[in-house]
Amino acid sequence: MPSKNYLRFGDSVWRYVFENKVQYINRTQAPQYRRLFAGHHLAAESESLEYDWHLPDLLQPAARYRQLGMENLCATGMTVVHRHP
């Protein structure tokens, strides 16, 4: 099973089947984090991403995630150092 298998599910299925108070899985992706940080006026000093380039062969993402592009779909880890301007 791919490490980002959770991207296969649309929001309605995700809420109905997987979202609960016992287990939380964050489906936020790198571009969403970048927008969130920018919205809080944090400037990135450095950023590095880890990738699993085999994910596209294993994963059929839900429509919500298809526009992310190969680089973001394959990103499995993100480390960012920010500073407040």
Q: What is the pLDDT of residues 17-67, one digit of tens each?
A: 888 888 888 899 999 999 999 999 998 999 999 999 988 778 889 998 989
* CA atoms of 69 and 63, how far apart (whole Å): 12
Q: Count Cβ atoms below 10 Å from residue 7 Cβ, excluding itself.
A: 20
User: What pLDDT does residue 85 have?
Assistant: 75
User: What pLDDT does residue 7 have?
Assistant: 92
Domain ranges of the chain: 5-83
Do 42 and 69 meet the contact criterion of CB atoms below 8 Å apart?
no
